[in-house]
Amino acid sequence: MKITLHIWRQKNAKTAGSFETHHIDDVDEDSSFLEVLDGLNEEQIESGNEPIAFDHDCREGICGACGMVINGHAHGHRQLTTTCQLHMREFKDGDEVYVEPWRAKAFPPIKDLVVDRTAFDRIIQAGGYVSINTGSAQDANETPIAKKVSDIAFDAATCIGCGGCVAACPNASASLFTAAKVGHLSLLPQGQAERGDRVRKMVAQMEADGFGGCTNHGECQEACPKGISVDWIARLNADFLKATFAEPNSVDKR
């Protein structure tokens, strides 16, 4: 099959970028989107041109590294799919495909399709962990947790931190990511001791990094490759309000 790729090229954050067009005539419909970019980069190198920079790692839909916007959709038009698991059979012969990086103030461009997503790391560092001593694995297994609760917590814990929710949101909000990271810990007994501090600090860091607020567009849920529901944002807001009014003097002032 034949495909025309219009790929965003940008040398660094300080230079302007533009689309670069590539015509590919022998695309295998069973290849993944990233494999097509691999082949294109081999041609670029052989021709003495600069290869296209893009993030990737596991290529199994696990790590969340392979973020890019394809024809206006984070990770492409297929739902519940990461870019690395998007195959060319999802496109038609002769299609023109536009490929861009995540667009968000909190995700500054590095090069081409690569953006700096360390803002997510800072949100996690602000409170997305359990620092109390939970004992050994055997002790942890002795803490009874209802299966219904553990299943719900796992639904949130499946977030891979890809940033697709931010890229899809008109406000570039990280509310779904933050809600998932706050939410799964708030349901487990090990997460209760720091529950209030956790949500206050993580929301404060999210705002400090320049992410927008949630206005219930729901695009984040549609773009999420793990299908995490916007219901978690409602849980986040409830936890934040409760923590703020319960201990208003301990709100992070950063």
Predicted confidence (pLDDT) per residue in 45-64, tens digit? 999 999 999 999 999 999 99
Predicted local confidence at residue 224, as pLDDT:
98
Q: Can you say how many angstroms the Cα of residue 104 is from the centroid of all Cα atoms in its chain?
A: 12
Predicted local confidence at residue 247, as pLDDT:
66
Give CA–CA dist 94/1, Å, rounded: 7
**Can you tell me the mean pLDDT for 114-139?**
89
Using DSSP's 3-state secondary structure scheme, residue 8 falls into strand
Predicted local confidence at residue 254, as pLDDT:
38
% of the chain beyond a pLDDT of 70: 96
CA quadruple 114, 115, 116, 119: dihedral sign? negative
Predicted local confidence at residue 135, as pLDDT:
72
Predicted local confidence at residue 67, as pLDDT:
94
CA quadruple 134, 137, 140, 142: dihedral sign? negative
Contacts of 47 (CB under 8 A, 6+ apart): none
Predicted confidence (pLDDT) per residue in 74-98, tens digit? 999 999 999 999 999 999 999 999 9
Using DSSP's 3-state secondary structure scheme, residue 66 falls into coil
Predicted confidence (pLDDT) per residue in 169-224, tens digit? 999 999 999 999 999 999 998 899 899 999 999 999 999 999 999 999 999 999 99
pLDDT band at 251 (very low <50, low <70, confident <90, very high): very low
Predicted local confidence at residue 194, as pLDDT:
92
Q: Do residues 192 and 205 lie in contact, with contact meaning Cβ atoms separated by under 8 Å? A: no
Average pLDDT, the chain: 93
Instruction: Check whether 250 has a pLDDT greater than 90.
Output: no
Predicted confidence (pLDDT) per residue in 152-168, tens digit? 999 999 999 999 999 99
What string of H, E and C letters represents the secondary structure of the chain?
Answer: CCEEEEEEECCCCCCCCEEEEEEECCCCCCCEHHHHHHHHHHHHHHCCCCCCCCCCCCCCCCCCCCCCEECCEECCCCCCCCHHHCEHHHCCCCCEEEEECCCCCCCCEEECCEECCHHHHHHHHHHCCCCCCCCCHHHHHCCCCCHHHHHHHHHHHCCCCCCHHHHHCCCCECHHHHHHHHHHHHCCHHHCCCHHHHHHHHHHHHHHCCCECCCCCCHHHHHCCCCCCCHHHHHHHHHHHHHHHHCHHHCCCC
Give CA–CA dist 226/158, Å, rounded: 7
pLDDT band at 140 (very low <50, low <70, confident <90, very high): low
Predicted local confidence at residue 248, as pLDDT:
53
Predicted local confidence at residue 41, as pLDDT:
98
pLDDT band at 253 (very low <50, low <70, confident <90, very high): very low
Which tops the pLDDT comparison, 139 or 11?
11
Q: Do residues 62 and 162 lie in contact, with contact meaning Cβ atoms separated by under 8 Å? A: no
Instruction: Check whether 252 has a pLDDT greater than 60.
Output: no
Give CA–CA dist 252/106, Å, rounded: 20
- Of the candidates 110, 133, 224, 109, which has an alpha carbon nearest to the alpha carbon of residue 175? 224
What structural domains and CATH numbers belong to the chain? 3-111 (3.10.20.30), 118-250 (1.10.1060.10)
Which tops the pLDDT comparison, 108 or 250?
108
Instruction: Check whether 244 has a pLDDT greater than 60.
Output: yes
Residue 60 φ then ψ, to 5°: -130, 15
- Of the candidates 43, 58, 46, 48, which has an alpha carbon nearest to the alpha carbon of residue 7? 43
